[in-house]
Chain A
């Protein structure tokens, strides 16, 4: 599962 939470970062 991709840690997509990190995609909320800049």
Chain B
């Protein structure tokens, strides 16, 4: 554990709390892509099956349980509790385009051709692109509630902080994980446009609006 990873994990935690807070405070899941949230739930379930057979640490155990439970809770909030506030007609990104390539890439580029390793690899690839439906929705509506942008920023910062974490681990432990690093670079890259608007406008008190 190093400072970059700890801060990254805390940003990830924060993003989930912000999202739940947004839904409960506005009593609405407007502006949130159900598809992206469903993909995250799938990411956590496929990655954390190792909870069943591989003990790492209490920190690791608790965090994994939290991420799985909270992602399912968010799906519940969107699908049942605040269902009328969710508009599927603007959440139209085809997730087949993300699931298919992630699955086939995980069959080809993995560390070991075993069920659990392929599930882990699939979850890494899928996570890197799972934000697409959300960003697509943002692009379509052209604006977002400020609290939603805080959620997205925390989520982006989480993976961005994993990059210095990997550099640090390479230097101190000689550890290199090409799959995680490649996917992490892609994932962080997807946020660059968003970060630009967030840091130049939202943090200066302006509304998140994309140029027409």
Contact = CB atoms under 8 A, between A and B. Distances in A.
A10 B64 CA distance: 7
Nearest to B173: A5
Contacts of A8: 56-57, 60
Contacts of A4: 111
Interface string A1-10: 0111111111
A5 B12 contact: no
B64 A7 contact: no
A10 to B, nearest CB: 6
A9 B5 contact: yes
A5 B64 contact: no
Main secondary structure of the interface of A (DSSP, over half): helix
B193 interface: no
B185 interface: no
Contacts of B177: 3, 5-6
B175 A9 contact: no
B175 A10 contact: no
B125 interface: no
A7 B117 CA distance: 10
Given A9-B180, A10-B64, A10-B67, A3 B162 contact: no
B191 interface: no
Interface string B169-180: 100010111111
Given A8-B56, A9-B162, A3 B176 contact: yes
A9 B127 CA distance: 14
A7 B162 contact: no
Interface in B173-196: 173, 175-180
A2 B173 CA distance: 15
A7 B56 CA distance: 9
A3 B175 contact: yes
5 contacts: A2-B112, A3-B178, A5-B177, A6-B179, A7-B50
Interface of A: 2-10
Across the A-B interface, give the 7 residue pairs with the lowest CB-CB distance, nearest first: A2-B111, A6-B177, A3-B177, A8-B56, A5-B175, A6-B180, A10-B63
